[in-house]
Structure 1
Amino acid sequence: MGVVCNWESKVAEVEAFRRKTMSAAGIQRRKEDEGQRRNNLFGYDDEEDEGNKLICVTSGVSYLGHALVNQLLLRGYSVRIIVDNQEDIEKVKEMEMSGEMKRRRKSNIEVIMVKLSDNVQCLEKAFEGCSALFHTSSFIDPVGLSGYTKSMAEIEVRVSENVIEACTRTPSIKKCVFTSSLSACIWQDIAQSNLNHVINHSSWSNESLCIDNKLWYALGKMRAEKSAWRIANEKGLKLTTICPALIIGPQFCHRNPTPTIAYLKEYSLIRSEIN
């Protein structure tokens, strides 16, 4: 007989995990120094005025997107946020009014509404003038808890192809940082693989395994990242991909209840497969 955990226990579990991760990493940050750091995120010279650099962020109202936008603003970058509906535009306005988005004196925020699944020409226009792009937009549901379907996986791939293709056609875009997922790497045939195998740049989830087990999220992320690398290599775009296992931070549970539980469910599934 299984034990049903209530919502409060799940929140406590995520919070405990967050605290343990933060302490293990030895992260110490002084708020008053936050806006003074000048990290060269994109390799610009220190003498250059970063406030004149415009960075594009897709889905800037998501948990990851919002955190990223804030860090860019605090470092003096101007940010163009890409959203796909009017509701997200209102969210950006609310964040600005509430002070959730903090900026330095020369930093600016622009918001453009365009669907990433639209034709590439629309995205080219949206990206024009930006020197780099962070692609953070995706459906977040590792194990189908809220209905991540095969069709969503197909949309994920199409969006990835559109975004990277648009970057290669936009002269001002020099670099792209693409958010993938560890799910794109870890779903492999355990019976035929070494359990001590280290996940690295050559690791990809097994496509047949994902399809047979209806792991549409993993399938979508894997195909999307592969498509991104294919286009970037063909067109000469400087691309970096990150494959986070779990994105977490202050207020994550309250802002993202569905993906939080979905991630916990996925980890339970992985443990049961290994054991």
Structure 2
Amino acid sequence: MGEKGLVCVTGAAGFLASWLVKRLLLAGYRVRGTVRDPEDREKVGHLWELEGAAERLELVKADLMVEGSFDEAVRGCEGVFHTASPVVLVKSDPKAEILDPAISGTLNVLKSCKKNPTTRRVVLTSSTSAVRVRPQTELDPAEPLDETSWSSVDLCERLQIWYPLAKLLSEKAAWKFAEENELDLVTVLPSFIVGPSLPRRPCKTVSDVVGLLKGEADAFAWYGRMGYVHIDDVVSCHVLVYEADAAAGRYICNAAVLTNCQLAARLAQRYPWLPTPTRFENPLGVESPSYELDTSKLTSMGFKFRGIEEMFDDVIGSVEELSQRKNTSS
């Protein structure tokens, strides 16, 4: 395997980014990852344990909220994978404190990419949240949502669901910047990502999945109906759209859309020994609209998705492996 070019991964210590760094290293790329503190071994130590890290990984400090902070990080890179999201402690105004950092953080990275003459393509991680939050009257399961669909700003604001709105507005801002500055941008829109965690501290997504398998329904009650996708498929999609010369625009990355009850039934059948919840109280008090997601743009490139069972098999396997390690070490 020959060595490939230099690429940058923002927020390299995160759940998705860590797996992306691993895949890129295994593929022979040189990887420059941005983190808030390269010396924090508790948060970045798992990256140095990856195969190829000693030879081809570099970690540098960068802050999404500081303009120009990514200039050095992307310098000389042929590709940039922007997966990072600002870590914001909401105090009084969730709308301003979540939306503004998401948009300005994305634009800060893209501005640095524009300054770098070697940038061939930028792959931005968005979310199906930027597609699926729409009034019931605009949704028809017989006509799945595709890459031309956008979530409703008004509905997000009315329901005060700031994460989808942040993803929506930051992706739109990215497309506007890319078009005005002739930057080659591709966006990946994963649904709810399921899979084992490389970071030692699991993120909320991983914690919610583990909690569900332990019988905790509160976190998932918010989701209602949700698309699910394996972490490995999301990583593969990022690499595919980066390497494929003809790739362009947005790519929905989703394996299956299920209601909470449908998901619980599948899990209960496969793992009858686990206390999977059977009831989910929706805190919004609004019935989750019925929708499907069209992934034909991705599957037309030969992409195949793993199923729900494999996603959760891998999570359970990793939890059991971690538990065995703790028992052995103690």
**TM-score by structure 1 length?**
0.70
Residue in structure 1 matching 2:118, options 126, 151, 172: 172
Aligned counterpart, 1:154: 100
Write out aligned runs for 1:11-50 (5 A).
49-50=2-3
Identity %: 30
Candidates 3, 21, 24, aligned match of 1:69: 21
The amino acid across from 2:82 in the alignment is H
Q: 1:108 aligns with which of 53, 56, 67?
A: 56
Q: Aligned-pair distance for 1:192? A: 4.0
Structure 1 residues 205, 126: closer, same or farther in 2, change over 3 A?
A: same
Query: 1: CA distance between counterparts of 2:40 and 2:172?
Result: 29
Query: Which is further off, 255-264 or 235-244?
Result: 255-264
Greater mean deviation of Cα atoms: 73-82 or 86-95: 86-95
| Superimposed CA distance per residue, residues 191-249 of structure 1 (whole angstroms, 9 cap, x where no aligned partner) | 34434332112111100100110110000000010111111111111111111102121
Deviation at 1:252, TM superposition (A): 7.5
Larger mean CA deviation between 110-119 and 82-91 belongs to: 82-91
Q: From the superposition, tell whether residues 149 and 50 of structure 1 become closer, same or farther in structure 2 (CA, over 3 Å).
A: farther
Is the contact made by 2:15 and 2:197 (CA closer than 8 Å) also made in structure 1? no
Amino acid at match of 1:274: P
One-letter code aligned to 1:80: R
Report the AA paired with residue 109 of structure 1: L
Match of 1:85 in 2: 37
| Contact residue 136 and residue 178 of structure 1 kept, 8 A | yes
Contact 1:76 1:104 in 2 (8 A): no
Deviations 1:76-101 (A, max 9, x none): 111101012356565324542xx3x1
Q: Distance in 2 between matches of 1:162 and 1:240?
A: 17
Deviation at 1:124, TM superposition (A): 1.6
One-letter amino acid of the counterpart of residue 117, structure 1: M
Q: Take 1:162 and 1:137, find their aligned partners in 2: how far apart are those partners?
A: 12
Q: Which amino acid counterpart does residue 110 of structure 1 have in structure 2?
A: E
Q: Which residue of 2 aligns with 1:182?
A: 128
Distance across 2 between alignment mates of 1:227 and 1:75: 31
Once residues 265 and 203 of structure 1 are traced to their aligned partners in structure 2, the CA distance between those partners, rounded to angstroms, is 25
Q: What's the CA shift string for 1:36-73, capped at 9, x where partnerless?
A: 6xxxxxxxxxxxx534x111000111111110101111
Q: Distance in 2 between matches of 1:263 and 1:244?
A: 19
Matched with 1:117 is: 65
Whichever residue aligns with residue 61 of structure 2, its letter is M
Partners of 1:252 and 1:111 lie apart in 2 by: 16
- 1:57–1:216 distance in 2 versus 1, CA, 3 Å: same
What secondary structure, in the 3-state scheme, does the structure 2 residue paired with 1:247 have?
A: strand
Contact persistence 2:38–2:59 (CA under 8 A): no
Match of 1:274 in 2: 289
What is the identity, as a one-letter code, of the residue corresponding to 1:118?
A: V
Residues 246 and 88 of structure 1: CA distance in aligned 2, closer, same or farther (over 3 Å): farther
Aligned counterpart, 1:242: 188
Distance in 1 separating the partners of 2:224 and 2:148: 25
Q: What is the aligned length?
A: 220
One-letter code of the match for 1:267? Y
* Residue type at the aligned position of 1:198: P
Secondary structure of 2:31's match? Answer: strand
Amino acid at match of 2:223: Y
Separation of aligned partners in 1, 2:118 and 2:199 = 37
The 3-state SS of whatever aligns with 1:273 is coil
Deviation at 1:177, TM superposition (A): 0.7
SS of equivalent to 1:178: strand
Q: Could you tell me which amino acid in structure 2 is paired with residue 264 of structure 1? A: F
* CA deviation after TM superposition for structure 1 residue 166, in Å: 1.5
- SS of the equivalent of 1:80 reads strand
Q: 1:253 to 1:189 in 2, by over 3 A?
A: farther
5+ unaligned residues in a row in structure 2: which ranges? Answer: 209-217, 227-258, 260-286, 291-330
* Contact 1:183 1:221 survives alignment (8 Å): yes
Instruction: Please state whether the residue corresponding to 2:223 is helix, strand or coil.
Output: helix
1:224 is matched with: 170
For residue 43 of structure 2, give the secondary structure of its aligned residue in structure 1.
Answer: helix
Structure 1, gaps ≥5 residues long: 1-35, 37-48
CA gap 1:230/1:237 in 2 versus in 1, 3 angstroms: same
